[in-house]
Structure 1
């Protein structure tokens, strides 16, 4: 595929927003769209971050759509920081030798300066978003400002810059594939923990354990009623996931819980977690990283939220996002969860 008369073999993508798993995975729909447009091109991702070393980096660095993943610290507090910033960027440029740079960030100028640097010194064309005044000249080609930039659906935001290439989202979902570590985990974990091979599994991620996300957790007593009802109806085994620091909330959930359950919080690596999620006939999660992972893996996913902001939900046949505020919401959640579970079971039986 050509751009400006030049064959595109390697594309360097710049991203610089939150280091959260969900926020990074939201970008995968745009990567798929680029692969559809440039099927033979390699995609390389450079992540500009203030939180270098986040757990999400390990997951995204192994994403099947990416040929390489790089991270640069964007905290620039001195002239030395700026020098290092451009030095590390140049190292990435010389290693990848991109034919095109796409800046997915609509605001700020750090990524814009990098694009201008690559264009002036190495004649690498770039595409960006002309969202703020005087930003367009930094790029070879700029897409116009768009309302989608301020859309609660973060996935749509990644497609604003791609409009310059004539690429629309058209419902493309986010995606994720199991790593070899995940496949190995899924192959062994039933026998390791004594779960019968014919026993269906429901996964539960209470999550939201960081201080800024605690408000996203539904009431534990309500959540327990939903999960208990679904587990009883399906005759399944319950497996709880979570980070090590979320073990306390999982233990609290399981106090006097009468059905078969296993707590794996802190016992799965981020590269193994997709294997656990793929083992589930239904995955129940609050608004946290594993929720996005389950959607990306196309596992039947019941997203449980405490606030109604539907524009930010994933809208796909294998996903239902429902509010849980009081006991009146429980029947709807159980009904939707069972519908998703049955749909998955029927597909498995027909496969």
Structure 2
């Protein structure tokens, strides 16, 4: 039995983008044992994945911090006796860990520093491509079938029950039409203005009788409360009340999810929700929703180079150009598909 390790990337969205690659590897090595090495914050993204036999947390801030921690991780990986490692992260350190863990075949994208560490360096694509395709290019370079480009996420029955109980306690019934709003983002220029979200919540409630839920982490509670304070029709706030698994369960119950470019937006696509994605400084061609899902991207960036990673930008014109009417137009089309 081939023993395979996939060394993952670090962000929720990027790890979701890697799931078609995982499927391709498992499909190619059908009777293999497949483990993934991923940062603790993304462990939940891959647990319960039917193509993954084991999820190993790479805790650089805890158990695997510093040289001693890396030695500890190498010892753990040596015990697994992996035959091949696919290194999706472009880190030199991760490639070196694979080498020192006694993994004979080490496959990943070529960098000058890793040239002598990788046993099978893959040339970096000249043409820019979506992250899903970027990862799948490694698989196709190894002769694998990469036809399935849908990313996926799995949650358990207990997660579903938790969300059903949470909604019931908030007075949401099985007949209510849930619309989820995700106003956060890992950097401010990617965020649609708070007042626009507030106006949208009122418009959705008036037009469709929707029960709107604002999602986010605990750090997003002030943002959610600020938006709620500007509305006439008060939304539910689930910020800080869900794990990644439970967030996935909540998103799966929504008739529509409206989100900035963020990990939760991709999570919504992965669980099959209808999604309106709001894009500004980032490129949907590179990091937008992907696969066969039911989603639409709204992007109205003008006079700006995209992608743009100017975190000091205070103008936020690329997001402010998106109007509530723009979003409501798409919402009417998508909610019409559900019979709302």
Aligned residues: 317
Q: Deviations over 1:282-329 (max 9, x none)?
A: 011112221111011111111122336221211344111213744664
Cα 1:169–1:217 shift into 2, 3 Å: same
SS of the residue aligned with 2:334? helix
- Aligned equivalent of 1:314: 289
Do the aligned partners of 1:186 and 1:279 also contact (CA within 8 Å) in 2?
A: no
Asked whether the 8 Å contact 1:14–1:111 carries over to 2, the reply is yes
> Matches of 1:37 and 1:227 in 2, distance apart?
46
User: Cα offset for 1:262?
Assistant: 1.1
Q: Report the equivalent of 2:235.
A: 261
CA 1:308 to 1:271, structure 2 compared with 1: closer, same or farther past 3 Å? closer
TM-score (norm 2): 0.82
Query: Aligned in 2, Cα 1:328/1:288: closer, same or farther, shift over 3 Å?
Result: closer
Deviation of 1:127 (Å): 3.6
Alignment match, 1:331: 325
Say if 1:274 and 1:308 are closer, same or farther in 2 by CA, change over 3 A.
closer
Separation of aligned partners in 1, 2:222 and 2:34: 40
Please give the per-residue CA displacement for 1:257-292, whole angstroms capped at 9, x wherever unaligned.
233521121222333111111111101111222111
Q: Say if 2:74 and 2:101, in contact at 8 Å, map to a contact too.
A: no
The gaps in structure 2 that reach 5 residues or longer are: 301-318
Task: Mark the runs of 5 or more structure 1 residues left unpaired by the alignment.
Answer: 1-6
Partner of 2:247: 273
Which residue is equivalent to 1:340? 334
How far apart, CA to CA, are the structure 2 residues paired with 1:328 and 1:241? 21
Match of 2:245, SS state, is: coil
Q: Which of 76, 96, 118 is residue 91 of structure 1 equivalent to?
A: 76
| Structural RMSD (CA) | 2.8
TM-score, normalised relative to structure 1: 0.79
* 1:134-283 alignment runs, 5 A limit: 135-147=114-126, 151=128, 153-167=130-144, 169-170=146-147, 172-208=149-185, 213-259=187-233, 261-283=235-257
Distance 1:227 1:323 in 2: 20
Question: Match for residue 4 of structure 2?
Answer: 11
Please say if residues 202 and 237 of structure 1, whose CA atoms lie closer than 8 Å, have aligned partners that are also in contact: yes
Q: How big is each residue's C-alpha offset from its partner over 1:132-173, in whole Å with a ceiling of 9 and x where there is no partner?
A: 24745434433333236xx36322222232233213644602
